[in-house]
């Protein structure tokens, strides 16, 4: 490889249309990779990674191999060193990273950084090409290692395997990914509400509560609403009710999208928000207000919080012939292909 050649690796972020807090119980999700990217431009470098960020003050300067990614300073570099530790690589790179995704905004800026790092490290170390699934699994393990957040597979798998023009129905148990075309009659918008950090949120508590609920009724992905009623503890029952009903909503929303029944699709989005707010309790007042405002806007089929919650963004599905400019800061996003070397 020409040591002076500059390589560009980029990964899209993602927005989840419906199906939140279901992936880590092997449930159903319907996200799409979006036309907002994290891009690393770099040259190969022996035994180190030097990376400055257009969006963060401190640069990452670390020696390979990485022993403890969780202690990397600056903290944003942990997503990079987590991937390097997982890949156990000797060659790194020197360059810069920039993003058009809001950081900590629930649009998978961290998964996009992990994936572009993985692609870059594969190339500079001349490793065999990994499949999208292998790449996503590696990056998910890297995130666990680097941040301690027990995230599911949705973000990494969506950023790795995006399909232009389509959302992805992902069964997080079988890991089957099925593209579902987005009809031309609908536009997808995201509206940023507030920054958040999953590591300092109650995300891990929710993962633990789902595991506890499963001790009562078995895998939530196989459970039905009737089974959930057998859980005596009120909090665990509501958590389980969200997951079980959300899996069902994802399945129905997928059918509605395929049939171009956007009214039903929108209603399911609205119901999803209600369940995330009342049963799973991962929304915030600010997000509820933004969602309510969007839902009341003419031309909007449906709106909900998206991603892990506790802040971040909301997602809106609107009639493509209607102008929703009055929704302040709503950003039109298009479904795109997955992470790549360009
Ligand atoms: C975060 C996690 C995902 C998923 C969502 C909630 O984005 O990284 O794995 O659990 O929250 O759906």
21 CA from centroid of ligand 1 (Å): 6
pLDDT of residue 4: 62
Mean pLDDT in residue range 55-63: 94
20 CA from centroid of ligand 1 (Å): 7
The pLDDT of residue 190 is above 80: yes
Query: Which residue in the list 46, 155, 234, 248 is annotated as catalytic?
Result: 155
Mean pLDDT in residue range 297-314: 96
196 CA from centroid of ligand 1 (Å): 13
Do 80 and 221 share a structural domain? no
27 CA from centroid of ligand 1 (Å): 12
Pairing between β-strand 28-46 and β-strand 48-53 as defined by DSSP bridges: unpaired
Reported as a single tens digit per residue, the pLDDT across 254-270 is 999 999 999 999 999 99
**Hunting for tokens 């950090």 — which residue is that?**
197
Q: Quick check: 175 and 131 in contact, CB under 8 A? A: no
pLDDT of residue 5: 82
Q: Quick check: 8 and 40 in contact, CB under 8 A? A: yes
Among the candidates 175, 206, 225, a domain finishes at 175
Atom index in ligand 1 nearest the CA of residue 29 equals 12
Q: Which residues pair with 313 in a beta bridge?
A: 192, 306
Among the candidates 175, 208, 241, a domain finishes at 175
Q: Quick check: 106 and 82 in contact, CB under 8 A? A: no
35 is catalytic: no
Among the candidates 175, 198, 220, a domain finishes at 175
CB neighbours of residue 307 within 10 Å: 26
| Parent domain of 97 | 7-175
Number of domains in the chain: 2
pTM of the model: 0.96
Assigned domain for 341 exists: no
109 CA from centroid of ligand 1 (Å): 12
Q: Quick check: 333 and 36 in contact, CB under 8 A? A: yes
pLDDT of residue 2: 53
- Nearest CA among 327, 326, 341, 334 for reference residue 100: 334
Q: Whose CA is nearest to atom 11 of ligand 1?
A: 308
pLDDT band at 206 (very low <50, low <70, confident <90, very high): very high
Do 168 and 194 share a structural domain? no
- As for ligand 1, residues whose beta carbon falls within 6 Å of it are 20-21, 23-24, 151-152, 154-155, 307-308
Q: Whose CA is nearest to atom 12 of ligand 1?
A: 20
Mean pLDDT in residue range 229-248: 97
The pLDDT of residue 21 is above 80: yes
Do 270 and 288 share a structural domain? yes
Reported as a single tens digit per residue, the pLDDT across 70-109 is 999 999 999 999 999 999 999 999 999 999 998 888 999 9
Do 138 and 220 share a structural domain? no
Mean pLDDT in residue range 218-227: 96
The pLDDT of residue 153 is above 90: yes
How far apart CA 169 and CA 258 sit, in angstroms, is 11
Atom index in ligand 1 nearest the CA of residue 16 equals 12
Q: Whose CA is nearest to atom 9 of ligand 1?
A: 152
How far apart CA 111 and CA 103 sit, in angstroms, is 11
Mutate to test the pocket of ligand 1, among 151, 199, 210, 250 (most ligand atoms within 8 A of CB): 151
Assigned domain for 237 exists: yes
Do 30 and 143 share a structural domain? yes
Calculate the average pLDDT of the chain.
Answer: 95
Assigned domain for 316 exists: yes
66 CA from centroid of ligand 1 (Å): 26
Do 199 and 121 share a structural domain? no
Do 300 and 224 share a structural domain? yes
Atom index in ligand 1 nearest the CA of residue 203 equals 11
The pLDDT of residue 142 is above 70: yes
Assigned domain for 117 exists: yes
Instruction: Give the CATH number for residue 260.
Output: 3.30.70.890
pLDDT of residue 3: 52
How far apart CA 338 and CA 34 sit, in angstroms, is 9
CA quadruple 8, 160, 108, 115: dihedral, nearest 10: -40
Q: Which residues pair with 166 in a beta bridge?
A: 163, 181
Mutate to test the pocket of ligand 1, among 27, 152, 158 (most ligand atoms within 8 A of CB): 152
């Amino acid at each position: 490889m020409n040591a002076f050649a500059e390589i560009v690796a980029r990964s899209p972020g993602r927005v989840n249309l419906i199906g939140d807090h279901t992936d880590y119980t092997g449930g159903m999700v319907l996200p799409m990779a979006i036309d907002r990217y994290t891009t690393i431009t770099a040259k190969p470098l022996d035994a180190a990674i030097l990376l400055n960020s257009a969006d963060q003050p401190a640069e990452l300067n670390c020696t390979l191999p990485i022993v403890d990614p969780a202690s990397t300073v600056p903290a944003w570099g942990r997503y990079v060193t987590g991937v390097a530790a997982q890949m156990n690589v000797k060659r790194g790179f020197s360059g810069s990273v920039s993003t058009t995704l809001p950081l900590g905004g629930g649009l998978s800026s961290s998964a996009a950084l992990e994936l572009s790092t993985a692609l870059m490290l594969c190339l500079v170390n001349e490793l065999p090409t990994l499949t999208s699934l292998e790449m996503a699994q590696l990056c998910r393990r890297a995130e666990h290692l680097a941040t301690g957040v027990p995230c599911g597979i949705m973000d990494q798998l969506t950023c790795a395997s995006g399909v232009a023009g389509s959302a992805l129905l992902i069964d997080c148990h079988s890991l089957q990914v099925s593209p579902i075309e987005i009809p031309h009659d609908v536009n997808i918008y995201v509206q940023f509400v507030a920054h958040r950090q999953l590591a300092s949120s109650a995300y891990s508590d929710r993962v633990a509560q789902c595991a506890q609920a499963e001790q009562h009724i078995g895998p939530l992905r196989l459970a039905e609403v009737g089974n959930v009623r057998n859980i005596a503890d009120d909090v665990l029952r509501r958590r389980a009710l969200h997951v079980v009903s959300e899996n069902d909503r994802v399945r129905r929303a997928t059918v509605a999208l395929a049939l171009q029944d956007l009214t039903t699709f929108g209603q399911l989005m609205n119901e999803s928000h209600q369940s995330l707010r009342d049963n799973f309790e991962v929304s915030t007042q600010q997000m509820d207000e933004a969602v309510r405002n969007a839902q009341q806007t003419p031309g909007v089929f449906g709106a909900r919080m998206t991603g892990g919650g506790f802040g971040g963004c909301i997602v809106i599905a609107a009639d493509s012939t209607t102008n929703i400019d009055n929704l302040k800061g709503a950003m039109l996003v298009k479904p795109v292909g997955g992470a790549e070397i360009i």
